[in-house]
């Protein structure tokens, strides 16, 4: 157990809800991009082997959505960047999102557990590299010259999230755990609050979401509303009064 660090760390789990007010839909929005496709057909390794063009076209469309005019960090992303700048201890953002809005808001310590936009992985030589180009089944790996082996460096359904060791270390040394805009239905992220309760028993756990989640009972405090309205005042409260 690592709960005696001082000042204690702050671990923040974010999900699709924090980017909603930036114009990026969550999975559950009725008319969102994700609802126009069957995720099984575009977000699994089997789907990629079956129809690479279909999978790559979907991610190219997602990337162009992220780059659309007007998409940028919102007040909730900015408040978390302020928290990292002004808090004396360590602030770690663990995000399930593949968008880069935390970084664009100024956050430095961001762990993308489901991968990140703008990174590509070669299935042949395993190299991960940054690239802003659309992928096609004819794309060539610049490292090993394989054709058709490049995929977005995004964790698909059935694949293991990345950076888990680093994430559990941050959870075990935190004194405050925030879950923001995440439904509590996607594992292992949904289990992080329980991990904090078990391994950092003195930590306070706070849920900031539009509505109560399945994990509600594991949080000490619940703050409901749109992230742009709830996160900035909560951050001000932590910076001025602490979290007890
Ligand atoms: P989710 O879609 O399952 O749940 C989103 C949660 O956010 C819901 O509980 C909803 O009530 C809440 N929410 C919606 N609008 C909100 C707002 N304005 N303020 C605060 N909360 C709000 O998303 P998830 O639990 O994060 O996980 C689904 C998976 O989808 C994740 O792996 C995530 O990476 C991926 N995803 C990512 C993006 C992105 O990169 N922006 C977008 C959609 C889905």
The predicted pLDDT at position 181 comes to: 96
Residue among 77, 102, 112, 114 flagged as catalytic: 114
pTM of the model: 0.94
Ligand 1 centroid to Cα of residue 200, in Å, is: 26
Give the tens place of pLDDT for each residue, 211-231. 999 899 999 999 999 999 999
Ligand 1 centroid to Cα of residue 96, in Å, is: 8
Mutate to test the pocket of ligand 1, among 75, 181, 211, 233 (most ligand atoms within 8 A of CB): 181
Ligand 1 centroid to Cα of residue 185, in Å, is: 10
**Alpha-carbon distance 7 to 137, whole Å?**
50
Ligand 1 centroid to Cα of residue 97, in Å, is: 8
Atom of ligand 1 nearest to the CA of 227: 19
Q: Quick one: average pLDDT of 96-100?
A: 96
Is the separation of the CB atoms in 150 and 99 below 8 Å?
no
The predicted pLDDT at position 185 comes to: 87
Using a 6 Å cutoff on CB, does residue 209 contact ligand 1? yes
- Among protein residues, the one with the nearest Cα to ligand 1's atom 31 is 96
Helical residues (DSSP H) of 51-191, grouped into ranges: 52-66, 75-86, 101-105, 164-172
Average pLDDT score, the chain:
93
Ligand 1 centroid to Cα of residue 95, in Å, is: 10
Using a 6 Å cutoff on CB, does residue 15 contact ligand 1? yes
Using a 6 Å cutoff on CB, does residue 8 contact ligand 1? no
What is the pLDDT confidence band of residue 6, given thresholds at 50, 70 and 90? confident
The predicted pLDDT at position 62 comes to: 87
114 catalytic? Reply is: yes
- Among protein residues, the one with the nearest Cα to ligand 1's atom 40 is 97
Q: Tokens standing for 80?
A: 């978390």
Using a 6 Å cutoff on CB, does residue 226 contact ligand 1? yes
The predicted pLDDT at position 49 comes to: 93
Is the separation of the CB atoms in 84 and 4 below 8 Å?
no
Q: Tokens standing for 41?
A: 């057909």
Give the tens place of pLDDT for each residue, 176-210. 999 999 998 889 999 999 999 999 999 999 999 99
The predicted pLDDT at position 132 comes to: 86
Residue 126's CB is within 10 A of a number of other CB atoms, namely 10
Ligand 1 centroid to Cα of residue 174, in Å, is: 23
Atom of ligand 1 nearest to the CA of 226: 19
**Alpha-carbon distance 16 to 181, whole Å?**
6
| Percent of the chain with pLDDT strictly greater than 70 | 95
- Among protein residues, the one with the nearest Cα to ligand 1's atom 18 is 226
């Amino acid at each position: 157990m690592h709960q005696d660090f001082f000042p204690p760390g702050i671990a923040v789990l974010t999900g699709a809800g924090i980017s909603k007010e930036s114009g990026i839909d969550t999975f559950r929005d009725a008319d969102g991009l994700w609802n126009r496709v069957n995720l099984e057909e575009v977000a699994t390794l089997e789907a990629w082997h079956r129809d690479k063009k279909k999978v790559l076209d979907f991610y190219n469309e997602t990337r162009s959505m992220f780059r659309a005019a007007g998409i940028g960090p919102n007040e909730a992303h900015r408040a978390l960047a302020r928290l990292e700048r002004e808090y004396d201890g360590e602030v770690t953002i663990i995000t399930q999102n593949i968008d880069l809005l935390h970084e664009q808001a100024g956050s430095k310590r961001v762990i993308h557990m489901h991968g990140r936009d703008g990174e590509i992985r070669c299935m042949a030589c395993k190299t991960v590299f940054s690239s802003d180009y659309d992928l096609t089944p004819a794309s060539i790996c610049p490292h090993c010259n394989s054709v058709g082996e490049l995929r977005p460096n995004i964790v698909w359904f059935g694949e293991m999230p990345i950076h888990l060791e680093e994430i559990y270390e941050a959870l075990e040394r935190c004194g405050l755990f925030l879950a923001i805009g995440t439904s509590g239905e996607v594992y292992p992220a949904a289990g992080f609050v329980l991990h904090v309760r078990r391994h950092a028993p003195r930590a306070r756990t706070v849920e900031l979401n539009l509505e109560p989640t399945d994990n509600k009972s594991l949080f000490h405090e619940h703050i409901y509303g749109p992230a742009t309205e709830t996160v900035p005042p909560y951050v001000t409260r932590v910076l001025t009064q602490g979290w007890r």
